[in-house]
Structure 1
Amino acid sequence: MNISERIILTTEEETAIDRWSHGKSIPLRLVKRAQIIQLSAQGVFNHDIAQRLNISRPTVQLWRERFLALRLSGLEKDAPRPGRIPRITQKKVTAIVNATLHTTPSDATHWSTRSMAKAQGVSAASVRRIWKQYNLKPHLVKNFKLSRDKHFLEKLYDVVGLYLNPPDKSIVFCVDEKSQMQALERSQLILPLRPGIPSRQTHDYVRHGTTTLFAALNMLDGNVIGDCMPKFRHQEFIRFLQIINVKTPPELDLHLIVDNYATHKHKSVIKWLERHPLFHLHLTPTSSSWLNLVERWFSEITCKRIRRGSFENI
């Protein structure tokens, strides 16, 4: 016959056990556990405790061992349980993940929950749950473009260096133009936002012309020098450089971060820069307009002012 380890209570434990075993507002399961430990500490055998409390001997032994291992905290919380056995094995989960990442269906460019469920013999809800768990989104695709500029690192260091450590007695401007800005007048009024219904606008519109916004964003304080012109040739770019020249202190060097658009490198622009030695052009690598901070400003204008607007003129 196995003899259980003797339980000896401290004064604090004895007080807590007594309170739990007689408490009227204590959960019944905790009352039973406290009574098991209280009787065990009094030397009552397991089978006698089981008979008195109308429970099984394994239950008595379980809570004796839990108390010996964890003391009072072992009685307050249930032991962790394994839970329901998954209906989909880990092997099947791995197969679904690998199929999502490395294969495509014969009749489509990417998997849907239904097509994957049919191919793997599981429910669409299971596929959806697995994709969510592994953060897989086969229906989404995003664009990217790698720069093939042979001087990519050199230009990158140059531009980032201006951001992190601008030269003394100078202003760093992020310069670019937002071309083909259309003044679109919607054929009907834009319908306002309502609960459960987004703001809506018509597909058809009247075009009242286009313009090009030239902008020079001061990297340090965020102020913008801007002007709209009908075209974006080298003539307009030189005109904008002259505007910058007039609106900035004459004693400061001006470092302009621009992209590789041909207008910025036109021979007439180069000659103008030679006549204005305070101007310094810094080219971003090709296909790397994300390096130019003014692009973020253009995005703000598009999202907050243009996309949902209706304009009767330029």
Structure 2
Amino acid sequence: MRVAPEIVLTDEERAELTRLACSKLTSVRLALRARIVLLAAQGLQNKEIAGQVGVGRVQVSRWRERYLESRRAGIERDLPRGAPPVKVDIARLVALTTQSTPAAATHWSTRKMGTELGVSASTVMRHWHAHGLKPHVVRGFKVSRDPKFVEKLEDIVGLYMSPPEHALVLCCDEKSQVQALDRTQPGLPMKKGRAATMTHDYKRNGTTTLFAALNVLDGQVIGQCQQHHTHIEWLKFLRQIDRETPKDKTLHLIADNYATHKHPAVQDWLAKHPRFNMHFTPTSASWLNMVERFFRDITTERLRRGVFTSVPELVTAIDEYVTHHNTNPKPFIWTKSARDILQKVIRANHRLSAKQNGTLH
């Protein structure tokens, strides 16, 4: 049987250890170690001491041996805890993140980077956060190459920020191919401790196209769902706008460059209705059309998680959303001036050109 080494104390040592074990000013750790040594001096084995003080036998053995080696100094010093912290080469971490990709992948993850640098994933995440790096995020962009970009930009932003008197500014567009999707199985509703469920697969029950005109002044929306989105449907929508707006108001319609909007039949109709004035956004600049904000809202709030067994059911849901929106509309406020936008586009063009020429750092 293995026997723990014996501890013999002088009267001074015993008094000193007793004072440490009983003092309310002593740290809890040092008081516990003093008790371990006092019990060991009484001839108790490590297992018995561990049972009395409520710690592990190995810990009792460690402090018994440390006291034998260094007396009081041995129990006052804490043992080193764990491995020394790994120093991270932050410059290399940032360089790898921004200038390279891992093997067979498009971007770094915390685990891949941690393996590469020999550190934990949490360490990588901490340094990424400190340097504003998000490799998992990618943002879409498209720089317009329209030769009349500046002219069209100033025209549309001018309508937003300084609309003409006795006129209405309407942002118009189509949200095409809105699908009536039905799930293959019924989902479960949300409850405490569980999110709502929805099957990943679905059944297509047809599509519709939402034509919408957003009034920049008050946020009201004129909406119409149609089966197709040719110039015929666009003309029907223009007639609806004509019917639902005050006749004494000049109308300024902002639309994109879709061929339907410029069809000869549409041009003839516009010529017969001079109160309609068309303003076209630059190519690849649909973000200038504020009705896209409304399309985003109806998608996230009503369509994306909706279940529709038929196209008429989908159309009814869209009409109800538009009606609900119009009961308390809130206009989208445009705050960026044409100059601010143009400066941003110039910077984007410069960076894109530098990237294509291989000079971007």
Q: Does TM, scored on the shorter chain, surpass 0.5?
A: yes
What amino acid sits opposite 1:137 in the alignment?
K
Shift of 1:109: 2.1
Which residue of 1 is the match for residue 187 of structure 2? Answer: 190
Residue in structure 2 matching 1:255, options 235, 252, 255 = 252
Per-residue CA deviation, residues 114-173 of structure 1 (Å, 9 max, x unaligned), is 322232233333212111211212122222111111111111111100001111111100
Residue in structure 2 matching 1:154, options 126, 151, 154 = 151
What amino acid sits opposite 1:177 in the alignment?
E
Structure 1 residues not aligned, in runs of 5+: 1-27, 29-85
Are positions 1:128 and 2:131 aligned together? no
What amino acid sits opposite 2:113 in the alignment?
M
Q: How does 1:193-212 map to 2 (within 5 A)?
A: 193-212=190-209
Per-residue CA deviation, residues 21-43 of structure 1 (Å, 9 max, x unaligned), is xxxxxxx9xxxxxxxxxxxxxxx
Shift of 1:106: 3.3
* SS of equivalent residue, structure 1 residue 235: helix
What amino acid sits opposite 1:188 in the alignment?
Q
- In structure 2, relative to structure 1, the CA distance for the partners of 1:173 and 1:134 (3 Å cut) is same
Are positions 1:246 and 2:243 aligned together? yes
Which residue of 2 is the match for residue 116 of structure 1? Answer: 113
What amino acid sits opposite 1:117 in the alignment?
G
Per-residue CA deviation, residues 85-104 of structure 1 (Å, 9 max, x unaligned), is x94557x1122112211122
Which residue of 1 is the match for residue 232 of structure 2? Answer: 235
Shift of 1:213: 0.7
- In structure 2, relative to structure 1, the CA distance for the partners of 1:110 and 1:204 (3 Å cut) is closer
Where has structure 1 moved over 6 Å in runs of 4 or more? none
What amino acid sits opposite 2:242 in the alignment?
N
Which residue of 1 is the match for residue 140 of structure 2? Answer: 143
Alignment root-mean-square deviation, CA: 1.8
* SS of equivalent residue, structure 2 residue 158: helix
What amino acid sits opposite 2:141 in the alignment?
F
Q: How does 1:54-69 map to 2 (within 5 A)?
A: none
Are positions 1:265 and 2:233 aligned together? no
Which residue of 2 is the match for residue 177 of structure 1? Answer: 174
Shift of 1:198: 2.4
Which residue of 2 is the match for residue 282 of structure 1? Answer: 279
Q: TM-score, normalised by structure 1?
A: 0.69
2: CA distance, partners of 1:103 / 1:137: 14
Residue in structure 1 matching 2:214, options 214, 217, 237 = 217
What amino acid sits opposite 1:107 in the alignment?
A
Q: TM-score, normalised by structure 2?
A: 0.60
Which residue of 2 is the match for residue 40 of structure 1? Answer: none
Matched residues, number: 229
Alignment identity in percent? Answer: 54
2: CA distance, partners of 1:210 / 1:108: 36
Per-residue CA deviation, residues 33-61 of structure 1 (Å, 9 max, x unaligned), is xxxxxxxxxxxxxxxxxxxxxxxxxxxxx
Which residue of 2 is the match for residue 103 of structure 1? Answer: 100
2: CA distance, partners of 1:195 / 1:153: 53
2: CA distance, partners of 1:194 / 1:275: 58
- In structure 2, relative to structure 1, the CA distance for the partners of 1:185 and 1:144 (3 Å cut) is same
Structure 2 residues not aligned, in runs of 5+: 1-24, 26-83, 312-361
1: CA distance, partners of 2:116 / 2:201: 43
What amino acid sits opposite 1:148 in the alignment?
R
Residue in structure 1 matching 2:90, options 90, 93, 97 = 93
* SS of equivalent residue, structure 1 residue 285: coil
- In structure 2, relative to structure 1, the CA distance for the partners of 1:88 and 1:312 (3 Å cut) is same
